[in-house]
Structure 1
Amino acid sequence: ERVLETMGVDWSMVQPVEDRKGHDRRYSVNDGRIRDLGYKPLRSFDEGLAETVQWYRDNEDWWRPLKERAAIKKTR
């Protein structure tokens, strides 16, 4: 939902896909140890998400051909 909100779109843009075999249902990260060592993120999750979305918007000419090649390989 946060990705959709950041992109300014709704659930109608989501295309469900089948789970792959061996798909992990959930990932959980505990950053306690690295924080104990003094790590502090440079940006919040939402800031990083917004930067990532903007990068994809600004660099479609870089990633679009990769996506299309992957789709072609998948159909073979």
Structure 2
Amino acid sequence: MKMTDIRELSNEELTKKLEDGRAELFNLRFQMATSQLDNTARVKTVKRDIARVQTEMRARQIAAESAK
């Protein structure tokens, strides 16, 4: 997911994306531990998506605090 797509999401959608990403990462790690994971590069992609969502959430939090 690209940063431009993430910026267009609402706060609720960002929270949902973060939950989904963490759940997917958990499942990927479980598959890796049981040697069922075919695409190991997917773990890196999911981690980056989670980081992008967290970065946008933090940027919005900082912007809200500075607007006070």
Shared fold, TM over 0.5: no
Instruction: Determine which structure has more spread, i.e. the larger CA radius of gyration.
Output: 1
Higher helix share: 2
Q: TM-score, normalised by structure 2?
A: 0.36
